Every structure is written in C-alpha cells, then in structure tokens.
A = this chain, B = another copy of it.
Amino acid sequence: MLKKLLFNAIFHFHAQPFSVRCNIVFLLLVTAAKLLYDFLTAHLKKLMSDEKCSAEKVTEMEDVITQMDNYTQQELADLFVKYNVKSPSTGNDLTPPTSFNLMFQTSIGPGGNMPGYLRPETAQGMFLNFKRLLEFNQGKLPFGAAQIGNSFRNEISPRSGLIRVREFTMAEIEHFVDPNEKVHPKFSNVADLEITLFSSKAQTSGQSAQIMRLGDAVEQGVINNSVLGYFIGRIYLYLIKVGLSKDKVRFRQHMDNEMAHYACDCWDAESKTSYGWIETVGCADRSCYDLSCHSRATKVPLVAEKPLKEPISFYLNVVQFEPNKGAIGMAYKKDAKLALEYLAVCDECYISDQEKLLSEKGEFSFETEGKTFTLTKDMVSVRRFQKSLHVQEIVPNVIEPSFGIGRIMYSIFEHSFHIRQGDEQRTYFSFPATVAPYKCSILPLSHNQEFVPFVHQLSEAMTRNGVSHKVDDSSGSIGRRYARSDEIGVAFGITVDFDTVNKTPHTATLRDRDSMRQIRAEVAELPEIVRDLANGTLMWAEVERKYPIFEGQETSRKE
C-alpha cells in the first residue's frame, strides 16, 4: 500500500439503503498506482546512472523519486512525457494513466437497471450493526465482533497463486474501545512475546527490523497503545499456531505517507515467501473514523454511553460547527437546509479535521444526499465550549485486525514445505496437526485379510472422535506409503502389523510425521491419543515419554 487514494461511495451487494464505509482506502487502486510509480522510478534511476547525466539533473530526478507518492494523475502523466518514458516492449509512447473502477459492478433485478457492486471488504456489516452489537454487550465497551466472508476486487493483474486474486476470503475483527481507555486488560498475556517489528522510524532511517518484547514496544510508544499491541500479539500467536515460521514473520508499521489520515497506527503482519515479504494480516487502529462517517451519512448517532457508577453531572468540552445561516442560504438557496442538517451531526474528530482545512485553505467540501457543498470561512466557524451532561456519550474507537485467509494459507504451504535430509525425492509438509487436512493415516502392513478388522476398528473410532483420517490400503511398501502420506502433510500415521494381530493386548505403531519417530500403543487407545495430538492438548514429546519407542522399523519395512 502506498498512498491514500480515496473513493467516495461504498456499496454492498444487497444494495442496502445505507452501507457506507465512506472514503475507504482503495488498496487496489493504490497497487495499480504503485506499478506506475515503480515503473517511473526504474526509468529515472536508469537515466541517473548514465554518466552523461548532469549533477543538476540527478538532483532533480532524486526529488521526483522522493515525491513520487504525492503526484496526482495529471502530474504523473506529465512526468511520463517529460522524461520520455516509452513502452519497454515496443518502444511506443504510453497513453496517459487512467483510473478505473476497482469494484465489480452488476445489475440487480429483472429490469437490469438497479446497479449493485460486489463488496470489496467484509467489514461494513459490523459497522451497520453497531447499535445491535452494543446492545448485545449490554451497552458496555469494549466489545468485539468478527466476520469471515468473500470479497471481490477487480485486480488489474491477478497472479502469484493465492496472493493476488479477484475473489478472496477475508476475516475481520472490529474491536470497539473507549478512546480514553485504550488499555487491554489481557495485554500482560502477550507482553513477553518477542516479535520482529519493523517500525516506521526504522524504515525511514534505513535501519532493519528488530526483535522486541511486545511490552517494551508499547511502553516505548513504538506501538501506539496496548489494545493494538494485544491484537498484534494474538495475530502473531495465531500465525505461528497455524504453521508460519517465527523467523519468516514480521510486523511492519505503516509509514505516515501510506497510513490513512484517520488512523492512529497501523501494522501489517508480513510473511516472507518466494515472492518477498507479503502482507497477510493488517492491524489498524482506525480511531473513530468509521462510526463517525456512518453517523454523518445516516444522521444516526453511533455512540456508546459511558457506564458511570452513579449518574453524575459533569462538564464536557463540546466542539460544534457554528454555521452562518444567512451566508449558506445565499450560496445554496433551498439546499442550504441539507448543509445545516449535515453540520449539526458532525463529531469532534471530523470537525477538527475540517477546521484545519478552513484555516489552511479557507474552505472545505462535503457531500450529503447526493449534493456537494463547499463552505468557506464566512459560512461556518467552529465553536468550542463546555456543557453540563448527565451521561457521557462516546464515539468508540475501533481496532481492526483484517486477515487475508488465502495469503495465510499460501504462507503455510511455503513455510511448511521441507525435504528429508539426504533424500531430495522425499518432500513433506510439516502442517501443525491442528490445521493438517488429515490428522492421521491408517496403513495395514499388507493386503493380508487379518489386518482388515483392526483397520475398521481404528477408522470407526477416529470418525467417532472427529479425527479426519485416510486409510491407505493400496499396494506399495509401508515406507512408500508413509512417504506419500508425508507428501500431503498428514500429521500422524498408524501401522497395523502382524504384532497387532497376534499379540494381546492388540497394539499398533503411531508415527510422528516430522521426526519420523514411532511409539507402540494399544489399538483401543490410539484414536484418543491422535485426537488429543490433533487438538493440541497433547504433545508428541509427552507421547514418547508415556509409550514404548518403536525403533528403526520404518527403514527395515522399506522394501
């Protein structure tokens, strides 16, 4: 993500009357823009490397590169002409950059004249339902909601397997907090985690990422607050639990120029893959931005009431727009009423932002009910005063961890892929048992019919225990079948052999995929052992301590 390229109206597939998450940062548009920036940058660097290029020219081009993110579409087009950028494949002139819709449009209903858009993110629903969610939590802050679903973006060039696709699964959490109490009660549970952080400061000063204790990062202000810190810790624990490598996960802070203007702080969990570091989870403190926008658009206050032990009166600093009704009426005639209604419901965050614009540029603009208004200093001012209130109303801030499920899965595949030492033919996936699609394979040593009842018994007990498993009774040596099972990442394997049949109590071997070590336990016990291993309530090391090791048989069983 590079830059704030804002898009004004947001939609929802079901064309609900108002499902606005206004001014959403359009990552994709940004990515497309980034391609242009990168392309121009590469071109300039090439020019600069030419010995004939004057020092003056080099400085000029260096300036352009530094400013890159801030150019408008037209400025960018002019630069392409100025520096004579041509198509790398044909040498022809380039057409000027154009913008295009990154959401998929469709038509709803039989007439086909009701436009609809596929949602570009899943979050909206939770803001729309804020009032209900708050009520469900008995009116108290903090509380969270989570949602998983498909999102659709008209990617300009889908590629890289699951990394850049047009339809993808997102999982988002919206955690609503009182902005005055941004302290997470469970932060201490994650404070001791040592996590690789790549702060905005490190990035701008050319330093590398560094491993920090999460508690220190929050204390030192590297991470804005402990609620954000808590979620960073939990995201980290989640990524490791599903199989990402510790040394291939880092959290990168957004730099000022890539962070949305309303965000307090934003960190991306990145995973190192053969495509470089890719963003897998975003974790942003979006302040009160989303709820405020929805409030303004729907004219319904989306606030929580501060739970006071006893109802007391207290003084509140109030910030309001103070419209000059005459001047607005003069400028907008019958539409003036709409502008006044709009100004009446704005919140402090928004008013302060516009106040800044008023003092810097002398005006600000907004849109309401499909009409655009531009108000100047003589039409509106900002008034601050104190007011006595009985209950404090709060626009909650929101911390938003947003997971790209496909990218996480892709990272699991890369980080879990291994080759057995000394045998390049034998590859395996070291999926943690909790996420392995199959927890266990069941392998009869041969086609001997005596093994069949034990295979059935094990398979049925596993089904009963909710353990996904695969019986592989195909021909092939046991070693070859284990290799096949490892190749698709089955976490454990049970072999039914002649001792299973002939000795009582009936026992079979249980093999751990990663270490290839085996133990021997009773057939009746095995399904529950595997269940507990798969749930993560039992560790392989404990199993080895409790049951007799079954030595060196895999090799001898190979042919």
A468 close to chain B: CB less than 8 A: no
A125 to chain B, nearest CB (A): 12
Q: How far is the CB of A20 from chain B (nearest CB, A)?
A: 19
Chain B residue at minimum C-beta to C-beta distance from A112:
B100
Residues in A83-109 with C-beta less than 8 Å from chain B:
98, 100-101, 104-109
What CA separation (Å) do A116 and B474 show in the bound complex? Answer: 42
Whether the Cβ atoms of A110 and B106 lie closer than 8 Å is no
Which residues in B have their C-beta under 8 angstroms from that of A167?
A: 13-14
How many Å lie between the Cα of A503 and that of B146 in the bound state?
Answer: 40
Residues 415-451 of A, flagged 1 when their CB comes within 8 A of B and 0 if not, give: 0000000000000000000000000000000000000
The docked-state distance in angstroms from the alpha carbon of A106 to that of B153 is 12
Give every chain B residue within 8 A of A116 (Cβ-Cβ).
104
Q: Complex formed: what's the CA distance from A474 to B156 in Å?
A: 51
Picked from B98, B110, B166, the residue with its CB within 8 Å of the CB of A14 is: B166
Asked whether A118 lies within 8 Å of B106 as measured between CB atoms, the reply is yes
- Chain A, residues 455-488, CB within 8 Å of chain B (1/0): the string is 0000000000010000000100000000000000
B100, B109, B535: the one within 8 Å of A110 (CB) = B100
- State how many angstroms separate the Cβ of A14 from the closest Cβ of chain B: 7
Indicate if the CB atoms of B108 and A106 lie closer than 8 Å: no
Q: Binary interface profile of A, 163-196, with partner B (CB < 8 Å = 1, else 0)?
A: 0001100000000000000000000000000000
Measured CB to CB, the nearest residue on chain B to A116 is: B104
A106 and B106 form a contact (CB under 8 A):
yes
Least distance between A170 CB and chain B CB atoms (Å): 13
State how many angstroms separate the Cβ of A258 from the closest Cβ of chain B: 23
The answer to whether A156 and B109 touch across the interface, beta carbons within 8 angstroms, is yes
**In the complex, chain B residues whose CB is within 8 Å of the CB of A104:** 106-108, 116
CA distance A292 to B166 in the complex (A): 30
The answer on a CB contact under 8 Å between A154 and B100 is no
Contact of A138 among B13, B149, B474 (CB under 8 A): B474
What string of 1s and 0s marks CB contacts (under 8 Å) between A141-156 and chain B?
Answer: 0000000011000101
Chain B residue nearest to A466 (CB atoms) is B535
Cα-based distance from A556 to B13 in the complex (angstroms): 51
A98 — which chain B residues lie within 8 A by C-beta?
110
> Mask for A208-219, Cβ within 8 A of B = 1, else 0?
000000000000
Option from B107, B166, B535 in Cβ contact (under 8 Å) with A13: B166
**Using a CB-CB cutoff of 8 Å, which residues 332-353 of chain A contact chain B?**
none
- A13: chain B residues at CB < 8 Å are 166-167
A154→B14 contact, CB < 8 A:
no
Which residue of the partner chain, among B108, B154, B166, B466, contacts A166 with CB atoms under 8 Å? B108
A106 to B98, CA, bound (A): 20
> Which residues of A245-300 have CB atoms within 8 Å of chain B's CB atoms?
none
Residues on B with C-beta less than 8 A from A107 are 104-105, 154
Which residues 14-29 of A have a CB within 8 angstroms of B? 14
Find the B residue at minimum CB distance from A138: B474
B110 touches A156 (CB 8 A): yes
Closest to A104 in B: B106
In the complex, what distance in Å separates the CA atom of A32 from the CA atom of B110? 10
Chain B residues positioned under 8 Å from A156 (CB to CB): 109-110
Query: Across the two chains, which residue of chain B brings its CB closest to A536?
Result: B466
Q: How far is the CA of A14 from the CA of B406 in the complex (A)?
A: 15
Chain B contacts for A535, CB-based, 8 A: 466
Shortest CB-to-CB span from A130 to chain B, Å, is 19
Q: Please judge, given known A-B contacts A138-B474, A167-B14, A474-B138, whether A154 and B109 are in contact too, CB under 8 Å.
A: yes
* Residue from A106, A138, A149 with most neighbouring chain B CB atoms (10 Å): A106
**Chain A to chain B contacts (Cβ below 8 Å), 13 pairs:** A14-B167, A98-B110, A100-B110, A104-B106, A104-B108, A104-B116, A105-B107, A106-B118, A107-B154, A109-B154, A110-B154, A110-B156, A466-B535
Closest 3 CB pairs of A and B: A104-B106, A106-B106, A100-B110
15 further interface pairs, Cβ-Cβ under 8 Å (given A32-B110, A104-B107):
A13-B167, A98-B110, A101-B112, A104-B106, A104-B116, A105-B106, A105-B107, A106-B118, A107-B154, A108-B154, A110-B154, A138-B474, A149-B150, A150-B150, A466-B535
